[in-house]
Amino acid sequence: MKDSPSLIIRNARITTLDRQNPQAAALAVADGRFVAVGSNDEVMKLAGAGTQVIDAGKRRLIPGLIDSHIHVIRGGLNYNLELRWDGVPSLADAMRMLREQVARTPAPQWIRVVGGFSEWQFAERRLPTLDELNAAAPDTPVFILHLYDRALLNAAALRAAGYSRDTPNPPGGWIVKDHRGEPTGLLLAEPNALLLYSALAKGPKLPPEYQKNSTRHFMRELNRLGVTSVVDAGGGFQNYPDDYQVIEDLHASGELTLRIAYNLFTQKPKEEVADFKKWATLVKPGQGDAMYRHNGAGEMLVFSAADFEDFRQPRPELPAGMENDLEAVVRVLVGNRWPFRLHATYDESIGRALDVFEKVNADIPFNGLHWFFDHAETVSDRNLDRIARLGGGVAIQHRMSYQGEYFIERYGAKAVERTPPFKRMLEMGVQVGAGTDATRVASYDPWNVLWWLTTGKTVGGTRMYPPANLLDRETALRLYTQANAWFSSEDGAKGQIKVGQLADLALLSADYFSVPEGEIRNLVSVLTVVGGKPVHADDEFRPLAPDLPPAMPDWSPVNFGSRYYKPDRQATHALAQASCGCASSCGVHGHAHGRAHTTATDDQNGFWGALGCSCWAF
C-alpha cells in the first residue's frame, strides 16, 4: 500500500460475510474502500501518522445494511412533517405524542402519521377513534395512514382537504359517510389506495430548502439504524425528474449519507410506454456514481398490473388487457437493457406477468439482465421455478409482520405459513434480498425485518411461520447486505467487509448474534461509516460524526424525538434532554450545547417562526 490508511477500527468482533475470511478483529480503510481485514496486530502495522484509529470496545461490527426496497426519496421530502408511530408500544403513548404535537403545530399545518405502524403493535390492539382524534385536535388537521387499507381524518382535516357530502367515491375507494350523508373522516381502500394518497397530497408541502433539511434528517435516521445503502423503488406522486431535484442537489453538494440507487416509477395509466421511452433518452442504468446512480424501471411498470395488498379485501383480479400493456413496456425495457422490478403480491398476478416475461424473452433474450418481483407474498413453487429459469429475483419485505393477522383472518393459519416462502426461494436458486417497503405500509427499521426473518412473528406477537420457513441470523443478515447488492447491479462491490469493497459498516449497540430474539428489534448502530467516513455516531463514539442542523421547520416532530421508538434507548434520550441547557425553552433535546440561539423566518407555504436552538434530536 502506497499511503497509510485513513481509518483503522480495531478491537471489534467483525462479521465480514466473506466466507474466505468470516471473522476478524480489525479493518483498515483507504480511498473509501477496505484495504485490510484481519487481526489487530496485522492491521495496526499499516497505521501511519495520519491514520484515525478507533477502538471498537469488543462491539459487533457488520457490513453496512442495504435496503433493497424503500421509498427514501419521497419519504425524505416529507420526513420532517411526519409524527412517527413506528414501534410505539401503546395507543395511549401514540395519542400522547399526537396531543403534544398539536400544541406546537401552527395553523395551517397538518399533523401526519404516515404509516410505519400497525394497530396490532399497540397494547390496546386498536386504532384511535375519530372522536378521540377530534377531541385531541379540534382545530389542527390530523391525517393518519394505517397500512394501505385506511386513513383517519379528523374534522379539521376533512375541512382542509375539501371533503363534503357532495364528494363522490373514487374508483376503488370509499369515503365513509354518516346517516346524514356527511363524511365521517374514515377513508377506505377497496382495494385501491389512491384515495388515501390523494387525500395526503392535499396537505401543505415543505419548501425546497426545508425538503433538503428533511431528507438529511431521514438519511441520518436510517444511518442510526445501520443503513448505508438503499434501492429507491420510486412511488406514487413521485415524478421524474422534478421530484428528484432535492436528492440531486444533496448529491452535488456532497451531503448524501446513504448510497442511493433509484428506479423510475411511471405515474399515469396508459402513458407508461411513453414514459419509459422518454426516460431512456434521459438516463441510462448505472449512470451516476457509487453514492447516487440510476437503477432501472419500476416498481410500477403498468397500472393494469398493480395488485393491491390490502388483506382486509379480497384479492383483486387484474384486467384482461394487462398482458398487452405489460408486454409493450417490457419490450421497451429489455430492448434498452434496463433492469426492472414489478410490484406483485399474489401468485396469480406473478403467473400472468411471467407469461409476458417468457414471451418477450423468446424474442429479446433477457440474457443476464437483472429483473425481479417485489413482495411475492403468495408465490408458488411453480412460479419460483419459472423466475429462477429466467434469472430473476424476489425482493421481500416484512409487510406480513404488520398485516399477518388480517391475512390469517381471510385465508387461514395454514396459508400464512409461507407468506412469502423465502426459505424455499433460496433453496430453488432465486436471487433473494430483503427490505422494508417503508415508509407507508411498514416501518423503515431494518432490525424489524431481521427479527421477522428469524422469528416469523408479527409486530403483534402472532407467530406465522414454522421452522421450515425461518432463517438463521447470519443468513438473514446476508439478505440485508451482500445479497441486496444484486438488486442494484452492484454485486461484489459492497455488502461484505472484504478488501476492495466499499467501506460501509455499522458498529452495533449490542451483539445481533447473541441477544435474545426479542431484543433484535431494539438494536441500533453506535457508529455508522459510509465510504470510510462516519455519518452517525452515538454513545462513546458520538464526537466522531458531524452534527446536523435542527429539523426545519422548528415545530417539526423530528425536533421533539419523533423517530423509530427503541425502548432501551429512551432513558438515554431523556437524560440528554434533562442535561440540555436550552431544553426548557426550545424543547429540543440534542447535544450541540452552548451555541447561541438563532432565529429565522420563512412564510413560504405557511411556514414561519423561529428556527429555535441549535440542538437536534438524535
Instruction: Say whether both 80 and 137 belong to one domain.
Output: yes
Instruction: Say whether both 277 and 402 belong to one domain.
Output: yes
Write out the three cell numbers for 82.
Answer: 411526519
* pLDDT score of 378: 98
The span from the CA of 331 to the CA of 350, in Å, is: 18
Q: Considering 472, 488, 504, which residue would you say is the last residue of a domain?
A: 488
Amino acid identity, residue 524?
Answer: V
Task: Please report whether residue 270 resides in a domain.
Answer: yes
Write out the three cell numbers for 145.
Answer: 395512514
Task: Please report whether residue 34 resides in a domain.
Answer: no
> pLDDT tens across 488-514, in order?
999 999 999 999 999 999 999 999 999
Which of the 8 DSSP states describes residue 79? Answer: G
Query: Is residue 612 over pLDDT 70?
Result: no
Instruction: Say whether both 196 and 223 belong to one domain.
Output: no
Q: Considering 145, 167, 200, which residue would you say is the last residue of a domain?
A: 200
Mean pLDDT, rounded, for 64-79? 98
* pLDDT score of 124: 98
Instruction: Say whether both 269 and 190 belong to one domain.
Output: no
> pLDDT tens across 8-65, in order?
999 999 999 999 999 999 999 999 999 999 999 999 999 999 999 999 999 999 999 9
Instruction: Say whether both 187 and 227 belong to one domain.
Output: no
SS3 111: strand
Task: Please report whether residue 585 resides in a domain.
Answer: no
Task: Please report whether residue 546 resides in a domain.
Answer: no
Instruction: Say whether both 410 and 437 belong to one domain.
Output: yes
Query: Is residue 571 over pLDDT 60?
Result: no
Instruction: Say whether both 316 and 366 belong to one domain.
Output: yes
Task: Please report whether residue 3 resides in a domain.
Answer: no
**What percent helix, strand, coil does the chain show, rounded to 5?**
35, 20, 45
Task: Please report whether residue 454 resides in a domain.
Answer: yes
Mean pLDDT, rounded, for 525-539? 98
241, 320, 232, 306: which is closest to 269 by C-alpha? 306
Amino acid identity, residue 536?
Answer: H
Query: Is residue 595 over pLDDT 70?
Result: no
Which class for 331: exposed (0-12), middle (13-18), buried (19 or more C-beta within 10 A)?
middle
Instruction: Say whether both 425 and 359 belong to one domain.
Output: yes
* pLDDT score of 276: 97
Strands (E) across 515-561 are located at 525-530, 533-537
Write out the three cell numbers for 320.
Answer: 384482461
> pLDDT tens across 125-181, in order?
999 999 999 999 999 999 999 999 999 999 999 999 999 999 999 999 999 999 999
The torsion region of residue 442 among left (phi > 0), alpha (psi -120 to 50) and beta comes to beta
Instruction: Say whether both 269 and 366 belong to one domain.
Output: yes
Higher pLDDT pick, 192 / 245: 245
Instruction: Say whether both 223 and 181 belong to one domain.
Output: no
* pLDDT score of 236: 86
Q: Which domain CATH number covers 83?
A: 3.10.310.70
Write out the three cell numbers for 245.
Answer: 431535484
* pLDDT score of 1: 56
Q: Considering 429, 463, 488, which residue would you say is the last residue of a domain?
A: 488
How many domains in the chain? 2
Task: Please report whether residue 372 resides in a domain.
Answer: yes
Q: Which of 323-332, 532-541, 581-590 has the lowest mean pLDDT?
A: 581-590
b/e per residue, 418-427, with b = 16+ CB within 10 A?
Answer: bbbbbbbbbe
Instruction: Say whether both 232 and 317 belong to one domain.
Output: yes
- Host domain of residue 368: 219-488
Sheet strand arrangement including 292-297: 65-70, 227-232, 259-264, 292-297, 340-344, 371-375, 393-397, 431-435
Q: Which domain CATH number covers 361?
A: 3.20.20.140
Task: Please report whether residue 206 resides in a domain.
Answer: no
The span from the CA of 277 to the CA of 363, in Å, is: 19
Q: Cβ neighbours of residue 507 under 8 Å, at least 6 residues apart?
A: 9, 12, 56, 59, 60, 61, 525, 526, 527, 528, 541
Q: Which of 313-322, 427-436, 454-463, 592-601 has the lowest mean pLDDT?
A: 592-601
Mean pLDDT of the chain: 92
Query: Is residue 600 over pLDDT 80?
Result: no
Q: What percent of the chain has pLDDT over 70?
A: 92
> pLDDT tens across 95-134, in order?
999 999 999 999 999 999 999 999 999 999 999 999 999 9
Instruction: Say whether both 240 and 310 belong to one domain.
Output: yes
The torsion region of residue 369 among left (phi > 0), alpha (psi -120 to 50) and beta comes to beta
